[in-house]
Structure 1
């Protein structure tokens, strides 16, 4: 079997999607599938030079085979497709038209982006089956961003792209519900993303307290994600302010990078809420520093407006860290069903109460953390995911029903929101 994954960019600056596609290709190749990536030399939306890679040829990139094609660069001062945007590439279009039939099936990552839209259209024309990854872009919150542009794009292109796909890959039951709510009846394959097993860091709790000057008895609340209004770190700060008023002991670490204006807003908010002595902002972390945070903290909180999976949440679960999330993070069903954390409404009082509940109960934190390790090992293994994805491709090519991923039957279609288990 020969499979081509299409994605607008594999720049490290694109975060989770890049990590996902590279790991998927590695796992598929371990299954004996000849899997490759076709993408552009995009390197983010902040004026950086394109990726310095050979173009128009198959190369090894991050230990997987990748075809890179030149991204269209608009004249200086003209912005087209900010962030994970349109990413137009004429050379990619030409190559796809010539070579798409060299592959048995295509796997398209992302909606509302030229490379995947183009690949879907050419695949339909040349009768090559393809799948589409929704990537959280059909949630009500995501559709409300640049609403008019997405409505026009959907009417002209994207609905047909989704409706004619062989399957839509969803990472959660909630994302599959979003597909149906968008009016698409294409079969869905609900298959989670994988999480790399953490590298064990001895004495992480001691080291993290030494680094940030935190007293040993003080519980650490960790937020580890992009510092962006979508992730709602401001809601977390307002909730913790309530706990500070109740004389609860805690220290917050807000780890992540963000735009200067938003970082300034957060710093001002921290000061106004009198949380400066209880809060650390280390910026972007990776490698050992990231491991120490995930293994040294006591609670992980992400009250985001919208996440289709939330790689950071998965990493926290795999590290044995109890998590608190909103139902808008679509693996909240799994967090609830497998008892790895608490799922609460994204409001100040419910979030404050959930944090207080775990701060006051080390025993419950340990139980939820152990459940999380088991969940990550059983469900979020890249090898297991790669094996199942291979069976999904085979089923599509043989025109058979798509097999369910193990344990999906345990998940409820609607998460019960509660702070008591």
Structure 2
């Protein structure tokens, strides 16, 4: 009686008899290969690419491979995913951080991750500066030859249009991560250009994608307004969360009563740094001691205005501007920061908030920050209205209490361990890539 490998795929049967009627004798080595094939066949058949190939088979009976022993299924067919984004400049903000963390979260998985960016830096390039898009077009086409999936970051820009065109040319599926680009505040900037992009190709790009990832229900709502037929998937980014809770910040003996706040991110009006300065000025007039460190770079005119605002309120000794900070400098900042504040008008996720929670620091965020619901649910800080200066001042006063600060900090760390780890991010993206058609 011959050997028979059998498994069910969507109600169909895949099998191939060996031995009886084969016209040749199977030696001992070949018997071992058949045994291994029978063992691994159900897992192979569960792969999306294999299912698609089998469903197109005329006979439905596919011979088992007896020429190679399979030791590691993931090593046999690694996913090759190409990421398209505007720039890889670290000063570009959360998009670059997202990709960096994603690369690390998938490091132990069988994924080849390649990145292609249009511009070499985060500065504002002219729309008609066609040299960089032209070079990107050639690179992304070459990258997509043999790729399993394209991951596009954002909705607007040359990388979206040229990346999706190249994917269609290569018959490669693609997914899109919004990064907050459809939030009403984001759409107000360059309104006409963005409206034209959405009308000409943006809506179709979103609705034809295998999946469009969002980080919060509010972002999903914005997506449905502009692309009702898009396939929505909620995927949270992640970051390195220490294995044990970090120690509290270092505090000089003579500085026990001063609340030390940190703002970490780009300098842009919608981030609300000026609201922090105004709230700090109001508390300073009441004799409340608060110190603010502003770490980040951004729009030159906004940075100039913030310096003028600090000087006008006489807060030169209480507000410190550090400019862009690298990874080592960021680590040093957490050693002296009691809490992080982000009163942003729109923030689809908030990497700085996630980083603060991972370091066991409480946070003050606006209702428009993507992580606000997690902060509120886990009692990891305070959620306020970004436009309410009185509420912001009350939040500062609340975190001036050391016991409350410590309780929020412990909750923040536990919440980050549960929901914001690299492991969670890697699992979510692995499943997303499998569902989106990567073999």
Q: Same fold (TM over 0.5)?
A: yes
5+ residue gaps, structure 1, are 47-78, 400-421
CA distance in 2, matches of 1:337, 1:248: 29
1:17 counterpart (92, 95, 98): 95
Deviates more, 1:310-319 or 1:284-293: 284-293
Report the counterpart of residue 412 of structure 1 in structure 2: none
Report deviation, 1:9: 2.0
Report deviation, 1:100: 2.8
Q: How far does the alpha carbon of each residue in 1:360-393 deviate from its partner, in whole angstroms, 9 at most, with x for none? A: x322211111111111112111122112211121
RMSD: 2.7
Report the counterpart of residue 105 of structure 2 in structure 1: 27
CA distance in 2, matches of 1:205, 1:364: 17
Deviates more, 1:378-387 or 1:23-32: 23-32
Change (3 A) 1:29 1:315: closer
Q: How far does the alpha carbon of each residue in 1:183-233 deviate from its partner, in whole angstroms, 9 at most, with x for none? A: 433222211111223699878423xx59xxx73332212222223322111
Report the counterpart of residue 43 of structure 1 in structure 2: 121
CA distance in 2, matches of 1:326, 1:30: 36
Q: Counterpart of 1:296 in 2: which secondary structure?
A: coil
2:218 counterpart (170, 174, 179): 174
Matched, 1:205 2:250: yes
1:205-224 matched pairs, under 5 angstroms: 205-206=250-251, 215-224=255-264
Report the counterpart of residue 165 of structure 1 in structure 2: 209
Q: Counterpart of 1:325 in 2: which secondary structure?
A: strand
Report deviation, 1:148: 0.5
CA distance in 2, matches of 1:264, 1:9: 25
Change (3 A) 1:258 1:162: closer
CA distance in 1, matches of 2:138, 2:321: 46
Report deviation, 1:99: 5.5
Matched, 1:231 2:271: yes
Report the counterpart of residue 318 of structure 2 in structure 1: 278
1:299 counterpart (302, 325, 339): 339
Matched, 1:349 2:390: yes
Q: How far does the alpha carbon of each residue in 1:140-196 deviate from its partner, in whole angstroms, 9 at most, with x for none? A: 000111001100111001110001001001122322222123243322221111122
Q: Counterpart of 2:255 in 1: which secondary structure?
A: coil
Report the counterpart of residue 89 of structure 1 in structure 2: 133
1:218-367 matched pairs, under 5 angstroms: 218-346=258-386, 347-359=388-400, 361-367=401-407
Report deviation, 1:35: 2.5
Report deviation, 1:126: 4.4
Report the counterpart of residue 147 of structure 2 in structure 1: 103
CA distance in 2, matches of 1:260, 1:119: 31
4+ residue runs of structure 1 moved beyond 6 angstroms?
A: 199-203
CA distance in 2, matches of 1:198, 1:281: 28
Report the counterpart of residue 168 of structure 2 in structure 1: 124
1:126-145 matched pairs, under 5 angstroms: 126-145=170-189
5+ residue gaps, structure 2, are 1-78
Report the counterpart of residue 236 of structure 2 in structure 1: 192
Aligned length: 359
Q: Counterpart of 1:103 in 2: which secondary structure?
A: coil
CA distance in 1, matches of 2:238, 2:438: 26
Q: Counterpart of 1:111 in 2: which secondary structure?
A: coil
CA distance in 2, matches of 1:201, 1:291: 11
TM-score by length of 1: 0.77
Change (3 A) 1:340 1:204: closer
Change (3 A) 1:11 1:268: closer
Change (3 A) 1:398 1:36: closer
Deviates more, 1:217-226 or 1:274-283: 274-283
